[in-house]
Structure 1
Amino acid sequence: MTSRDTDATTDATTDAAAREHATATTAATGPAATAADAPVTISYEEIDGARIAVVSLNRPAKLNGLTMAMLRGLDDAAATLRRDRDLRGVIFAGAGNSFCAGLDFGSVLKKPMDIVKAFAPNPLAGDGANLFQRVCWEWRRLPAPVIAVVHGHCYGGGVQLALGADFRVTAADARWSVLEAKWGLIPDMSGARTLADHVGAEQARWLTMTGRELSGAEAVEVGLATETTESLDDAHSRARETLRELMGRSPDQLAATKSLFNHAWRSPRATFRAERFEQAKLLLSENAARARTAAMKKTPPNFVRRGTWAFGAKKK
């Protein structure tokens, strides 16, 4: 479990860049929630005519400290977006002055049984993840690319949420820390896997044992983040530029790439089997055919929705 008590307050300002780019359509997760009061929100934008989603942690007055409602909201958001075959990308951000300062112990400890239930693994899930692990890992399983935009505090569970994304663009003044060490705990929201994936086992041990706080530039240096920008607005712009670049690739190829590298820690036999399986699907996909045609003709590809088979697609 993450380890930051986030009772400190900040100005409840809304992320200016996200507000600038967001469309008028905003879907809030959770029962009877509105865009203003939902702990997690989804808004939609278009980049070059393709739809992306912006998932925002929406508890700015508490540095987006995680509550049980936020965990459930993240779980619901990931499930909703996973079903959207037309979705081409996701930006994952935090409202206000911070990305996420970790678990809000003051909130979650009010209902200890909720923690017990959330900590129990799901026997029906193939990976056996519990709720804490699932809200971070599901972004890896999402077929579309996910980019986390990090600013302000990124502590404990916030680090693990960011590591669930495919890429992380961090503002220079962001502060990163695997803060569980302060509380005598370990990162248990899939962090044992994602930390080692991104920084290697030695750095993962060092960060987890020390809990050292890193700047945005230092986070890039050790491998926690992909790149750094001067400001939060620049980070949002860079995330959108990256998604625009990725839209030049087949959405099926992007999904297969994510799936393939999720198998990287398995045995060579399992990894090679995953390679064969994903490549076979791509060879039968309409988007792979369109990518080949566009490459040969040196024209921009006109991709269709993810998961369309070549033998069943309408030709344009």
Structure 2
Amino acid sequence: MEKYKTLEIVQQNPNSPVFNLHLNRPSLLNALSLDFFTEFPKALSSLDQNPNVAVIVLSGNGHHFCSGIDLKALSSITSESSDHGRTAERVRREIKRFQEAVTAVERCRKPVIAAVHGACIGGGVDIITACDIRYCTERAFFSVKEVDLAITADLGTLQRLPSIIGHGSTMELALTGRRFSGSEAKELGLVSKVFSTKDAMDEGVRAVAEEIGAKSPLAVTGTKAVLLRSRDLTLDQGLDYVATWNSGMLLSDDLVEAISSYSQKRRPSFSKL
């Protein structure tokens, strides 16, 4: 398995379809470096293409999930030259590259579950809003922090968070940059459940991931794809899209296996994707 400077991929159980992707700069609170924005989409693509992977759990090594973008990375892309036009073009190009790295979570066919403990600030919020399911611990805390750095959040939070928690709540959090707790994140709908400890979260998330991993991979990847696509479609367009999707997928062996296993009262066994 490939080694990364900013990430770690772990398969805790060799027989499990659940793989863990860890942000791995714990001494720097998993701040997002320039290397991260190259490695993150690469790691997600490798997991996506691996037939042994059904579900990805994203978390942070150490005491925090992510403290946001590394300020060194930020200063390196905003350093000016004498030509302001070329500086602006370079900054825009780098921002677009950073955006694509976060969007890689959605481009990944396999479900990505965020497990948050400690700080989830700025770029960390960008990342979890792109994830498919989010959980956290009681000690987790969040902040859409960019306004306090005199920048506008630009890696996806302002685009994705409103569809998760609503426009009004997003506006308040983004304009104030205030810190909010795991319990408030649950009240807002940002996370699905709050666990008392990191160990409890790890166990609970693993159980959810294993449950999803036991289902038809065609149905799981299809559900993710249709839900993401439907954000940008009208109701009629969304219905047409899922009808087209299912017309190509319903003829798979997974449907036969799901029905026969149900009638025989046994666990289904699906081929890898």
Contact 1:141 1:258 in 2 (8 A): no
**Structure 2 residue corresponding to 1:257, chosen from 217, 220, 223:** 223
Contact 1:253 1:288 in 2 (8 A): no
Task: Report 1:104-143 matches (<5 A).
Answer: 104-110=70-76, 112=78, 119-120=92-93, 130-143=96-109
Correspondence 1:293 to 2:266:
no
| Cα distance between partner residues in 1 of 2:214 and 2:49 | 22
| Cα distance between partner residues in 2 of 1:118 and 1:85 | 37
Task: Report 1:134-173 matches (<5 A).
Answer: 134-173=100-139
C-alpha RMSD of matched pairs (Å): 2.2
**Structure 1 residue corresponding to 2:62, chosen from 92, 96, 109:** 96
- The offset of 1:112, in angstroms, is 4.3
| Cα distance between partner residues in 2 of 1:140 and 1:46 | 25
Contact 2:18 2:210 in 1 (8 A): no
Task: Report 1:207-246 matches (<5 A).
Answer: 207-246=173-212
The alignment covers a number of residue pairs equal to 265
Alignment-derived partner of residue 22 in structure 1: none
Secondary structure at the counterpart of residue 243 of structure 2? helix
Contact 2:129 2:156 in 1 (8 A): no
| Cα distance between partner residues in 1 of 2:190 and 2:91 | 26
Deviations 1:195-241 (A, max 9, x none): 01211222221211121211111111111112111111111111101
| Cα distance between partner residues in 1 of 2:57 and 2:174 | 26
Say if 1:170 and 1:74 are closer, same or farther in 2 by CA, change over 3 A. same
- The offset of 1:148, in angstroms, is 1.0
**Structure 2 residue corresponding to 1:280, chosen from 230, 242, 247:** 247
TM-score (norm 1): 0.77
TM-score (norm 2): 0.89
Gaps of 5+ in 1: 1-25, 30-37, 122-128, 307-316
Contact 2:18 2:213 in 1 (8 A): no
| Cα distance between partner residues in 1 of 2:203 and 2:250 | 34
Correspondence 1:28 to 2:7:
no
| Cα distance between partner residues in 1 of 2:135 and 2:263 | 34
- The offset of 1:115, in angstroms, is 9.9
Say if 1:282 and 1:190 are closer, same or farther in 2 by CA, change over 3 A. same
Contact 1:118 1:132 in 2 (8 A): no
Supply the AA of the counterpart residue of 2:110: A
Say if 1:111 and 1:188 are closer, same or farther in 2 by CA, change over 3 A. closer
| Cα distance between partner residues in 1 of 2:191 and 2:170 | 13
Contact 2:7 2:24 in 1 (8 A): yes
Correspondence 1:302 to 2:269:
yes
Secondary structure at the counterpart of residue 113 of structure 2? strand
| Cα distance between partner residues in 2 of 1:40 and 1:246 | 24
**Structure 2 residue corresponding to 1:68, chosen from 19, 34, 53:** 34
Task: Report 1:195-214 matches (<5 A).
Answer: 195-214=161-180
Alignment-derived partner of residue 23 in structure 1: none
Alignment-derived partner of residue 16 in structure 1: none
**Structure 2 residue corresponding to 1:184, chosen from 150, 168, 176:** 150
Query: Which structure: greater helix fraction?
Result: 2
Identity rate, percent:
25
| Cα distance between partner residues in 1 of 2:151 and 2:132 | 26
Deviations 1:117-147 (A, max 9, x none): 57428xxxxxxx9322222222123222211
| Cα distance between partner residues in 1 of 2:124 and 2:89 | 21
